[in-house]
Amino acid sequence: MLGSETKQALTFMGVDMAIGGHCDPRFFRVREVFERHFAEGAELGAAFTVFLDGERVVDLWGGVADRTTGRAWGAHTPVLAYSCTKAVTATALLLLAERGLIDVAAPIREYWPEFGTASVTVEHVLTHQAGLPAIEEQVPVAEFEDQPAIAARIAAQTPVWEPGTAHGYHAVTYGFLVGEIIRRVTGKSAGDVVSAEIAGPRGLELWLGAPPDVIERTARLSAGERTQAEPVIEVEDGDPANPMTAIAAAARDRDSLMNRALGNPSVHLLPGGANNPVILRAGWPAMGMVATARGLAAFYADLIAGRILRPETLSDAVRRRVRGPDRVLYIDSSFGLGYMRPALTFLTPAAGEETAFGHTGLGGSIGLGDVENGLGVAYTMNKLADAVGGSLRAYHLVAATYDSL
């Protein structure tokens, strides 16, 4: 039985805003971490939800959804979850594979004849081995809601490494590639498939292409203490064998593969950046999902329970296909079929190193599933941080969750 209502109070623009929700007494450590993040000023608005064996045992939220107006974060406040989207998009494709409509080992050309490189398979895209991590030509704003047009740009490119020989994070291209494969097979966008096959039948509060009423109540992202002009990574030059040295150099180089992969299409060309309705309704399948923590955690709860994919499909999908230095991010990453596995890019405590899967999102959000431990977990927030700071907020909450089992 759920209990232990939180009492921590917040003040913003002169208005008292209490942290709301409930927390099973067994998970008091989670509540303490969530409240401490607010007390230390690490959060603006955030939510954290945990399902254990199908029961919602933690459901916390608090703070401010919009720092300009002071609008409070509520139980049903959605927010752009950035790359947490990738796991949901992968699940949509795997559903089609279960039905025999897609063979993940097949070349993309079998479904998309115009695709330029014959050796790229569906699995290469899902595991970030396709060698197409960046869109080489700048995508104009007029194309932002035309996913097939963006996909066509990527299809015409030559891979920057031999597909299947290395992996590197396809931060944005992943979604347009997977989305176009889905469209070629079904005639529907990835967002339509997610709505019809995953979110809609289960009443999940997640949207890949948010409708106007959801956009209206979506939390607004904030850069926190940083300005957009400031560097995201601050690392001094040092040992050339240290990947952080390479990251620092890549961050300073506008033409680096890392910056090209992360920065095109450029959301900053729009007023308000990622808060612009164009982005929220476009439903980019790599980073365009709008979700509540409840909705994303419930997705993982249903996934590990076999209510979305068959257990054998999920077991195979979370099997590590790649692990090690990432050609785009430089630090170690690990992927199954569209799902991250524990690595420096997906930090999990020791108890989840062999069992957890899911995906992180830019600035700190995370969705996580763990079949063995019966966990469906999600953390959403609107105060973006650099990769390290963002990850640690989620990590502390996830670690407290595992500690409570």
List the catalytic residues: 83
DSSP code per residue over 196-261: IIIIHHHT-SEEES--HHHHHHPPPPB-TT--TTS-S-------TTSHHHHHHHHHH-TTSHHHHH
Hey, what amino acid is at 102?
I
**Pairwise CA distance, residues 265 & 290, whole Å:** 18
Buried b (16+ CB within 10 A) or exposed e, 360-392: bbbbbbbbbbbbebbbbbbbbbbbbbbbebbbb
CA 201 to chain centre: 22
User: Which residues are 216's β-sheet partners?
Assistant: none
Cβ atoms within 10 Å of 228's Cβ, excluding its own: 8
CA distances from 308 to 43, 88, 129, 176 (A): 33, 11, 26, 23
Nearest to 341 by CA among 331, 328, 351, 354: 354
For the chain, give the number of residues. Answer: 405
**Pairwise CA distance, residues 357 & 322, whole Å:** 14
Inter-residue contact 140 to 231 (CB < 8 Å): no
Inter-residue contact 127 to 167 (CB < 8 Å): yes
DSSP code per residue over 137-176: SPPPGGGTT-HHHHHHHHHTSPPSS-TTS-----TTHHHH
- 8-state DSSP, 343: B
**Pairwise CA distance, residues 317 & 261, whole Å:** 24
